[in-house]
Amino acid sequence: MSNSRILKSSASALAAYALAIAAALFFAFPIFWMVTSSFKSEVDISAYPPVWSFTPTLVNYAQLFTELNAWQALINSALIVGLATCIAMAAGTMAAYALARFDVKGKEFLAFEILSIRMLPPIVSVIPMFIIARQLGIFDTPWLLIAAYALSGLPFVVWVMRVFIQDIPQSIEEAAMIDGCSRFETFWRVTLPLLLPGLAATMVIVFMFAWNEFLLASMLTSQEAKTLPVIAANAIKPKAIAWGLASAAGVMMSLPVVVLVLLMQRYLVRGLTLGAVKG
Amino acid sequence: MAKSGIIGAPALQLGATKAVRAGEKSVPTLLLAPTMIIMTIVGLYPLLHSLYISLTNYNPTFGTSYAFIGFANYARAFGDGQFWYSVGLTLAFTAISVALSLTLAVFLALLFNQNRLGFVVLRTFLLIPMLITPIAVGITWRTMMMPDLGVLNYLLSLIGVGHLSWASSPSSALASVVLVDVWQWTPFMFIIIFAGLRSLPKSPFEAAAIDGAGHLATFMNVTLPMLKPVIVIATLLRIVDAFRTYDTVYIITRGGPDFATDLLSVYLQRVNFRIFDLGYGSALSWIALVIVLVVVLVFVNLTGFLKLVADKENR
Amino acid sequence: MAINIDTVYKQFGALKVVNGVSVDIKDGEFFVMLGPSGCGKTTTLRMVAGLELPTAGRISIDGADMTYAEPRHRDIAMAFQDYGLYPNMTVFKNIEFPLKIRKLDVRERARKVEDTAEKLGLGELLQRKPSQLSGGQRQRVSLARALVRNPKVFLMDEPLSNLDAKLRAVMRTEIKKLVTNLGITTIYVTHDQIEAMAMADRIAVMSKGNMVQVASPLEVYDRPKTRFVAEFIGSPPMNLFPAQIKAGGTVTCILPNFAHSLCEEERAFAAQIVDGKGGLLLGIRPEHLVVAKAGAQGATDALVELVEPLGQTTNIYVSVGDVRFVIVTDRTTAKAGDTIGVVAPSDLLRVVANDDAVVRH
């Protein structure tokens, strides 16, 4: 009896490990392939059967900067995404505070209206933005993308920060007001320090979506304001595809997000579900 | 009488009139103002502008003048077979991809919910795909799926499976982009459902065990109903995103071969930015928007999403 | 400092939470607002604190109109049910915070914090974070933070309701002692009648946004004015019977042996009660009923339905026909099914008004 139970449980452990490792391999292999490809020379990358051990080279990364003008794109991406994230964070947190702590008329309606931006396919607003930008002369400047990314980050910030703010007991703020703080001092000295982890996590998610965005970036820029995804896509020409170069671009643009998100893992679920699911 | 106040502290002023405190009523309005301004200028205005363009024959390649043509673009759209083919394809892509990643995510969440040594590390691998820039995902999978030089066909040949044509043949192209989508976004659903599973109370499971429920019965009658809110939220977000899939498909197939992966976003991009038929493109975008809204509303009504959210609010 | 609350109303949308409450709280008084949840007691307290603004009415502290003053300008302190401690600050920083906001000198701050912490037995815990403290310790920190600035008025919103029963009893006496020694005017909100009885100089019993009765604890217990007060205070509650006034000022009820003649004071009160429609009740505390032999002189025979021996006392639930009531006595040999005699001493019977049956003048 007990022998068969042990047998049964070790069999199920074996099966669990087999499945878990298979799943991990499935999800990790393409990343492994992308990273190794980025360090392969042109010969190694087109070898068949594929080579598994090779002499790593940085030639693809060097080419990123010489041929694809990656510096410009990196600066553009950092500037556009950084500014857009800051704007969305500032405006969104203010709105979230109002929705969380005050009696606002039609509060739920307002919240859903803000959420509806999340539902809006970018392909709908890309045409008018294209036309308006041409008329205003801001086509192919960072400003257009900053505005677009700030907008698409807003619903995340408002919804997630509202939940984080609601998590802070109101009595803490009331205690501060009774202890002698004005409303602003209360927010600045008591609420904000408690919100910092939530703010950081939300910021990472907003940053991630803007950093990875391609559709708007490819259609609203042509030369000057190109971001990293756009130049990476440019590495793929219908006939001659620079696979090593493209992989290097992929690694370079994915790295910041992967690092930031893994640092903020604890709050990720909350943010991704707009605060609806506790991580 | 007890001496009151703090000795040595500056006296606090009494700025206390009804008017001053009534001024607090404008605080929430001020706080909401920046969000509302951004939403109106960058969100609402372009949307309305697009509605207006959709009623014209605007096409910048024919100069800046254009005419108001009423609902002609919409009438044209209803006869546009390619458009409705794209709509159908996108709906199918969304349904298959979301259903597959949901199933896989639930299975993986149950698997990793067992506390076994090393599972925490393995779990981290399941997180990364969703963080990779979709363009990079497209590039990598396109490399791997090359029929003659790709590593996938090489690996398959090792286990004796023959030569697959992946995205380069019309018959398997849609399946290939679904595979990529499932690979990238199952992690998203996985971490949400996993977190949901972790936060479930223990007692219903213990009760089910005492009642003699087997694994399957427990899953169907206890786990799944309790996970419903989490699954509904994850699925809704995924549906909205799958519907607008563009980046990976643009890189891997550009809608081809032979329109086998001509998703709505790819088709619209072609109408708008290859032919620059912006009036017609805007009309199509609006129809697409309405379709998304209908899909979302149907889903929301079927699952009682709003009620779930409202329950959360009132907890 | 004295606090005057003058016909204060509070409405949230269509919901009327406080309905014209007026009360004068004396300097140094320990004033308890008692009532079930939703009776308006917490809202009234929050209006005194300035966390809510009244829809109408006036609140003054120490003679100054504070109706619309910001909380920070009222020189009040408050203890919250969930303590309201700053989770990111140590105990020391928590207690120091109100002094820091007032830009008090650093050394002066440290001295005051340490003094107050010592007084509350927190000396050892100053470097801990709130999450490392027990519930009782947390409440002590919140009291220390309130007391460190020597406020005019101390407001407490159910400060003990998150603690277990034993600790609650300990903290109850501690708070009472502390506040009485410092002579700070205190308004204390609770739904726990024992807390109210034990601590208060005066109790205001609240129901549906009104102060139904404001009096000393014993007065409220002995002479409840309305059915609500009679039933809310005391466990088991007061026995009440529909009653009429007979000529000559005798009050009688369905049980002929339970009769009471009105004294001068009661006459005036009884005159305020709308008579005839069940407005008038005759009440007696369960422990004032006396058990006698069945059929004894002046006793009412009653059937024992249930006996609850509680150790110190015993509850006997009895019925006379359709009329049910409860007796609290010492140990008894009576058991369910027995018939016993019950005597209601005439001078311990009380006239009580049914709710909403008091004519206001």
A–B interface: beta-carbon pairs under 8 A: 269
DSSP annotation of A51: P
- Both tokens of C278, joined, read 């069940």
Contact C72 A178 (CB under 8 A): yes
* B122 in reach of chain A (CB within 8 A): yes
Which SS3 state, helix, strand or coil, does residue C23 take?
A: strand
> Which pLDDT score is estimated for C274?
63
In the beta sheet, which residues pair with residue C226?
C353
Hey, are the CB atoms on C152 and B17 less than 8 Å from each other? no
CA quadruple A128, A133, A139, A143: dihedral sign: negative
3-state secondary structure C43-61: HHHHHHHCCCCCCEEEEEE
Which A residues, 188 through 227, put their C-beta within 8 Å of a C-beta on chain C? 189-190, 193-194
Domain containing B146 equals: 39-314
Strands across the sheet containing C290-292? C290-292, C339-343, C300-309, C314-320, C323-329
**Residue C103 contacts B where some CB pair is shorter than 8 Å:** yes
The two tokens of residue C64 are: 């100054």
Whether B21 is in a domain gets the answer no
Residue C239 pLDDT class (50, 70, 90 cuts):
very high
Nearest to B285 among A17, A123, A132 (CB): A123
CB contact under 8 Å between A121 and B285, yes or no, is: yes
Q: How many angstroms separate the CA of residue A208 from the nearest CA in chain B? A: 7
| In a domain? residue B11 | no
Closest approach of chain B CAs to the CA of C123, in angstroms? 22
- CA distances (Å), B94 to each of A210, B100, B168, C340, in order? 23, 10, 21, 79
**In 3-state terms, what secondary structure has residue C319?**
strand
Contact with chain A for residue B20, Cβ under 8 A: no
Task: Report the residue of C59, C109, C147, C150 to disrupt the B interface, i.e. the one with the largest count of B CBs within 10 Å.
Answer: C150
Q: Which residue has the higher pLDDT, A45 or C360?
A: A45
Predicted local confidence at residue B12, as pLDDT? 42
Q: How far apart (Å, rounded) are the C-alpha atoms in residues B236 and B192?
A: 12
Taking CA–CA distances from C148, the nearest residue in chain B reads: B6
pLDDT of residue B10: 40
What share of chain A has pLDDT > 90, as a percent? Answer: 21
List chain C domain ranges. Answer: 3-222, 236-285+345-361, 290-343
Grade residue A239 by pLDDT with cuts at 50, 70 and 90: low
Q: Which of C64, C73, C152 lies at the smallest CB-CB distance from B13?
A: C73
C209 with C39: CB under 8 angstroms? yes
With CA atoms as reference, report the closest residue to A17 among B140, B122, C240: B122
Instruction: Give me the residue from C68, C99, C182 closest to B17, CB to CB.
Output: C68
* Shortest Cα–Cα distance, B247 to chain A (Å): 6
List the single residue in A with minimal CA-CA distance to C157: A171
Vertex B140: Cα angle to B135 and B146 (nearest 5): 125
> Residue range C231-256: average pLDDT?
85
Query: For residues B236 and B309, is the Cβ–Cβ distance under 8 A?
Result: no
User: Nearest Cβ partner of C84 from A171, A181, A185?
Assistant: A171
Look at residue A20 and tell me whether its pLDDT is greater than 80: yes
Any C CB within 8 A of A179 CB: yes
| Residue B131 within a domain | yes
What token pair was written down for B78? 């209803």
Residues of chain A with Cβ-Cβ distance to C149 below 8 Å are 179
Q: Do the Cβ atoms of C68 and B18 come within 8 Å?
A: yes
* Percent of chain C whose predicted confidence (pLDDT) is above 90: 39
Say how far apart CA B169 and CA B253 lie, in whole Å: 10
In tens, the pLDDT along C320-332 reads 988 999 999 988 8
Chains in touch with A (3+ beta-carbon pairs under 8 Å) read B, C
Q: Is residue B136 part of a domain?
A: yes
Q: What is the mean pLDDT of residues C215-234?
A: 92
For chain C, say whether B202 makes contact (Cβ under 8 Å). no
What does the alpha-carbon distance between residue A93 and residue A194 come to, in Å, rounded to a whole number? 13
Q: Would B52 be classed as within a structural domain?
A: yes
Using CB atoms within 10 A of its CB, is residue A22 exposed (0-12), middle (13-18) or buried (19+)? exposed
Interchain proximity A34–B136, CB inside 8 Å: yes
Please give the Cα distance from A13 to A17 (Å, whole number). Answer: 6
- Other CB atoms within a 10 A radius of the CB of residue B171 amount to 10
Count how many domains chain B has. Answer: 1
Spell out a b/e string for C267-302, using b for 16 or more CB atoms within 10 Å of the CB, else e. eebbeebeeeeebbbbbbbbbbbebbeeeeeebbbb
Whether chain A has a CB inside 8 Å of the CB on B31: the answer is: yes
- Give the model's pLDDT for residue B311: 60
Each residue of A91-138: pLDDT tens digit? 999 999 998 888 777 777 777 777 777 777 777 778 888 888 888 888
Residue among A27, A37, A103 minimizing CB distance to B183: A27
Class of domain C3-222: alpha beta
List pLDDT tens digits, range A186-214.
989 999 998 888 888 888 888 988 999 99
Q: Identify the weakest region by mean pLDDT among A21-25, B134-138, C278-282.
A: C278-282
pLDDT value for A276: 64
Contact by Cβ (8 Å): B215, B101? no
Query: Does the pLDDT at position A254 exceed 60?
Result: yes
Instruction: Write out chain C residues lying below 8 Å of B15, CB-based.
Output: 70, 73
pLDDT for C144 beyond 70: yes
Distance of alpha carbon B231 from alpha carbon B106, whole angstroms:
9
Which of C254, C248, C241, C250 shows the shortest CA–CA distance to C280? C241
Whether C358 and C316 have beta carbons less than 8 Å apart is answered as: no
Instruction: Quote the mean pLDDT of chain A.
Output: 84
Question: What local confidence, expressed as pLDDT, does residue A273 receive?
Answer: 67
Partners of residue C65 in chain B, C-beta under 8 Å: 16
For residue C328, the model assigns a pLDDT of: 93
- What amino acid occupies position C254? I
C156 forms bridges with which residues in the sheet?
Answer: C79, C188
Give the span between the Cα atoms of C225 and C139, in whole angstroms.
35
CATH topology of domain C290-343: OB fold (Dihydrolipoamide Acetyltransferase, E2P) (2.40.50)
Q: Is residue B23 part of a domain?
A: no
Contacts of B2 in chain C (CB under 8 A): 28, 150, 182-184
Q: What is the ipTM of this complex?
A: 0.86
Q: Do C75 and B10 touch (CB under 8 A)?
A: no
Contact between chains at C150 and B1 (C-beta distance less than 8 A):
no
DSSP-derived secondary structure for chain B: ----S-TTSPPPP----HHHHHGGGHHHHHHHHHHHHHIIIIIIHHHHHHHHHTTB---GGG-S---B-TTHHHHHHHT-HHHHHHHHHHHHHHHHHHHHHHHHHHHHHHHHTS--TTHHHHHHHTTGGGGS-HHHHHHHHHHHT-TTT-HHHHHHHHTT-----GGGSHHHHHHHHHHHHHHHHHHHHHHHHHHHHHTS-SHHHHHHHHTT--HHHHIIIIIHHHHHHHHHHHHHHHHHHHHT--HHHHHHTTT-STTTT--HHHHHHHHHHTS--HHHHHHHHHHHHHHHHHHHHHHHHHHTHHHHHHHHHT-
Interface residue of B1, B4, B13 to substitute, partner C, most C CBs within 10 Å: B4
At residue A116, what is the residue type? S
Structural tokens at position C226: 């309305």
Query: How close, in Å, is residue B151 to chain C by CA atoms?
Result: 52
Dump pLDDT digits (tens) for A139-193: 888 888 899 899 988 988 888 888 889 888 889 999 999 988 888 889 899 999 9
Task: Give residue B224's pLDDT.
Answer: 86
On whether the CB atoms of residues C105 and B8 are closer than 8 A, the answer is: yes
- A264 close to B131: Cβ distance less than 8 angstroms: no
Using CB atoms, pick whichever of A37, A97, A274 lies closest to residue B143.
Answer: A37
Q: What pLDDT, on the 0 to 100 scale, is given for residue B7? A: 43
- In whole angstroms, what is the distance from residue C143 CA to residue C158 CA? 13
Q: Closest to C72 (Cβ–Cβ): which among A171, A181, A189?
A: A181
Nearest to C98 among A169, A180, A193 (CB): A180
In this complex, the chains that touch B, judged by 3 or more CB pairs closer than 8 A, are A, C
Partner A, chain C 128-167, Cβ-Cβ below 8 Å: 142, 145, 149
Q: How many CB pairs under 8 A join B and C?
A: 56
Is the CB of residue C282 less than 8 Å from the CB of residue C262?
no
- Identify the CATH number of the domain in which residue B113 sits: 1.10.3720.10
Residue B25 lies in a domain: no
Tens place of pLDDT per residue across chain B (315 aa): 334 444 444 444 444 455 556 667 788 888 999 999 998 888 888 888 888 888 888 887 777 777 888 888 898 888 888 899 999 999 999 999 999 999 999 999 999 888 888 888 888 888 889 899 999 999 899 888 888 888 888 888 888 887 888 888 888 899 999 999 999 999 988 988 888 888 888 888 888 888 878 888 888 888 888 888 888 888 888 898 898 888 889 888 888 788 888 888 898 888 887 778 888 888 998 898 888 888 888 888 887 766 666 565 544
Report the phi/psi class of residue B63: left, alpha or beta, with left for phi > 0 and alpha for psi in -120 to 50.
left
Q: Which two tokens stand for residue B149?
A: 């030089």
Q: Please name the amino acid found at residue B189.
A: M
Dihedral sign of CA atoms A75, A81, A85, A86 in order: positive
Averaged pLDDT, A72-96: 92
Question: Exposed (0-12), middle (13-18) or buried (19+): which is A189, by Cβ within 10 Å?
Answer: middle
Which structure tokens are listed for B277? 């038929």
Is B285 an interface residue toward A (CB < 8 Å)?
A: yes
A179 near C103, Cβ under 8 Å?
no
Using CA coordinates, name the residue in chain A closest to C145.
Answer: A179
10 Å Cβ neighbour count for B81?
7
Give me the residues of C, 5-24, that contact B with CB < 8 A.
Answer: none
* Residue B184 in domain: yes
Instruction: Search chain C and give the residue with CA nearest A176.
Output: C98
* Upper half-sphere CA count for residue A65 (Cβ side, 13 Å): 7
- Average the pLDDT over each of B153-162, C3-12, C200-209, C218-227 and give the range with the smallest value: B153-162
CB of A175 within 8 Å of a chain C CB? The answer is yes
pTM score, whole prediction: 0.82
Per CB-CB distance under 8 Å, the chain A contacts of C103 are none
Chain segment C81-103, per-residue pLDDT in tens:
888 899 889 999 999 999 988 88
- Pick the closest to residue C194 from C171, C177, C226 (CA basis): C171
- Residues in Cβ contact with B270 at an 8 Å cutoff, skipping those fewer than 6 apart: B255
Helix (H, G, I), strand (E, B) or coil at A206: helix
Q: Is C76 on the interface with A (CB under 8 A)?
A: yes
**Amino acid present at C279:** G
